[in-house]
Amino acid sequence: MAKKTRKTEKAWQTGPEWQKPFYITTTLPYVNSDPHIGFAMEAIRADTVARAKKLDGFGVFSNTGTDEHGMKIYQNAQSRGVSPQEYVDEYAAKFKALIPALGLMPDTNFIRTTDPHHVRAAQAFWKAVEQNGYIYKKNYKVKYCVGCELEKTESELVDGKCPLHPLQELETIEEENYFFKASAFQKQLLELYETKPDFVIPDSRLNEIKSFVRKGLEDFSISRLASKMPWGIPVPDDDTQVMYVWFDALVNYISAVGWPDELSGDQPSELSSAVSRKGELIDQKFQHWWIETGGVVQYCGKDNLRQQAAMWQAMLMAAGLPNSRTIVVDGFITGDGGVKMSKSLGNTVDPFEIVKEYGTDALRYFVLRELHPFEDSPFTPEKFKEAYNAHLANGLGNLVSRVMKMAVANDVKLDEKTAQSIEKSSEIIMAMKEYEKGFGGYNIQQASNAVWTLISKADAIVQEREPFKKIKTDASAAKRDIAELLAYLKIIAGLLLPILPQTAETILDLIKENKMPERPLFVRK
């Protein structure tokens, strides 16, 4: 009983986040090169959903981090002449810097797969799966894509190459490794997809993973010989093998929320006892963020669908743990000619450079409204600049400046009665329905479009009623128009809080203080 009492005093149980929980995570990007805009898109979208949930009164645990083991890391560190740990330390710092750069919530959790707790949790997870009879050892030979860190069958190859990494030669692996008995979970996975029709979003990706699983699942290797690839988490009770990178990294979704709480030390005996005491594997923190939430919402790219929606779910079943709640699948960002942006092709865009030139909320705007929420979308500097000028500098920013200039010049302040009346108007009600529908289906583009509908409506009021001219002939009517515009601005800013948080807060402060912005919210480029 003493141990239980001590747990209730933990910091994560004392705040408002201990109510009505919601857990969301990005994938963990592989630290084999600098951050790129594809992952920035994923992180921003997950953060926007997290912010919206927090505004709705949920306690939110938002997770991101870095995947730091595997062959690519080992090879890159060797080519640089540094240790793998030095290599991943350098790159992890760059990815952690995305939290402030992208305007992610400051309390966003950042997990590294080299963190001591994660290493111990991955080993405990292995033992749980092993004790349940789903890990075995065998000799095998397979073609392996280092870029994907995945085995490849002939049917997946194009001209003998991985279609996602055509510039990399496939490796042939022939050794004795441990295997995960994925073939045992075909029926259970299909039942999961049927009973939870929103398990994978969008529907097209759900149909894709159903089709993949219906064809039959093959057992897959989950370890490598340490003598050939030493950079990985040691397999429990067999130091000749290290864990396969995906098997290790996927466990972060549960290790990030404390699973299993018993693992406070490094001794192998603790691993064994933690796994054997199955009734105590789920501690209160994990209970709150994984069980009470109905599982984690996982954002991922479409090239991660198999790992997230099939491999990881089978692994959870094998360990006797509940499945994830929802997998939200992004499309790719493409460059000129519709070619996927990728680190291996060297055609990526640096999100830090975009933020430096245009600002954090400008990047958030583009990935949330200008890119399709689920399908491939193009990015070019020209498209970005055009959207920025049209919808931020000349759109939202210009509207705020004009309305606040009229309000300050004529001493018109936000009138709550007017605001309440505007909130009941058909335009606002329709926009709110679209906004809520968008967030409900993880379609943030739809939600953003609803906000810009209101921005267009407010612009139309300025253009059609011209209160800046009317003030000379009918001051009372002009001031009513300005008060209505202030109410629109307040509603717009409120809806923008999860989307463009810095800009939204600035607008709300300007309204509250009844002053002009000191500089344009978005300077035309």
Residues in contact with 338: Cβ distance below 8 Å, sequence separation at least 6, in sequence order: 376, 378
Top-confidence residue, 341 or 225: 225
- Indicate if the pLDDT at residue 207 is higher than 80: yes
Residue 4 pLDDT exceeds 70? no
Average of per-residue pLDDT across 339-368: 88
Q: Give the pLDDT mean for 205-227.
A: 96
Confidence (pLDDT) at 152: 67
Q: Are 515 and 436 in contact (CB under 8 A)?
A: no
Instruction: Tell the residue number behind the tokens 């429990």, with chain if given.
Output: 236
345 pLDDT band (50/70/90 cuts)? Answer: low
Mean pLDDT of 421-434: 95
Q: Write down the pLDDT at residue 171.
A: 75
User: Pseudo-torsion of CA 211, 212, 215, 218, nearest 10°?
Assistant: -160
Highest-confidence segment of 11-25, 173-187, 258-272:
173-187
Q: What is the CA radius of gyration of the chain?
A: 26
Give whole-number Cα distances, 134 to 181, 249, 388, 516, in Å. Answer: 5, 18, 52, 65
Domains of the chain, by residue range, sit at 381-513
Confidence check: pLDDT of 281 > 60? no
| pLDDT tens string 127-159 | 999 999 999 999 987 777 766 666 666 667 777
What is the rounded CA–CA span in Å between residue 68 and residue 113? Answer: 6
- Over residues 303-334, the pLDDT tens digits come to 999 999 999 999 999 999 999 999 999 999 99
* DSSP string for residues in 364-375: HHIIIIIS-SSS
Mean pLDDT to the nearest integer, 234-257 = 95
What is the structure's pLDDT at 188?
Answer: 98
Token digits of residue 199? 């398990």
What was the pLDDT predicted at 169?
76
Kindly tell me if the per-residue pLDDT of 367 is higher than 50. Answer: yes
Q: What average pLDDT does this structure show over 382-400?
A: 97
Q: Are strands 333-334 and 377-378 parallel, antiparallel or unpaired?
A: parallel
In the prediction, which pLDDT does 3 show? 32
> What residue has token string 């994925």?
182
Q: In this predicted structure, what is the pLDDT of residue 268?
A: 37
- pLDDT for 40-51, tens place per residue? 999 999 999 999
Tell me the mean pLDDT in the region 364-378: 97
d(CA 431, CA 108): 29
Residue for token digits 């921003």?
A: 44
Dihedral angle computed from the Cα positions of residues 517, 522, 524 and 525, in that order, rounded to the nearest 10 degrees: 140
pLDDT of residue 210: 98
At 13, the amino acid letter reads Q
Would you call 101 helix, strand, or coil by DSSP?
helix
Cα–Cα distance between 378 and 364 in angstroms, integer?
A: 16
Rounded to an integer, the average pLDDT of 162-182 is 82
For residue 454, give Cα distances in angstroms to 9, 387, 508: 46, 18, 16
Question: Residue 114: is its pLDDT beyond 90?
Answer: yes
Distance CA 471, CA 410 (A): 8
Q: Report the CATH architecture of 381-513.
A: Orthogonal Bundle (1.10)
pLDDT at 17: 55
Output the pLDDT for position 267. Answer: 39
Q: What average pLDDT does range 497-513 have in this prediction?
A: 98
- What pLDDT digit, counting tens, does each position of 52-83 carry? 999 999 999 999 999 999 988 999 999 999 99
- Residue 18 has a pLDDT of 57
Please give the share of the chain, as a percent, with pLDDT higher than 70.
88
Per-residue pLDDT at 263: 46
**pLDDT, position 233:** 97
Going through 162-264 in order, the beta strands assigned E by DSSP cover: 171-180, 200-201, 220-221, 223-225, 234-235, 238-243
- The pLDDT mean for the chain works out to 89
- What is the C-alpha to C-alpha distance for residues 227 and 348, in angstroms, rounded to an integer? 34
List the structure tokens of 389.
């000028």
**Burial class, 155, CB count within 10 angstroms (exposed 0-12 / middle 13-18 / buried 19+):** exposed
Among the listed ranges 86-90, 343-347, 464-468, which one has the minimum average pLDDT value? 343-347
Query: Mean pLDDT across the stretch 461-478?
Result: 95
Supply the pLDDT for residue 140: 82
Is the pLDDT confidence value at 266 over 60? Answer: no
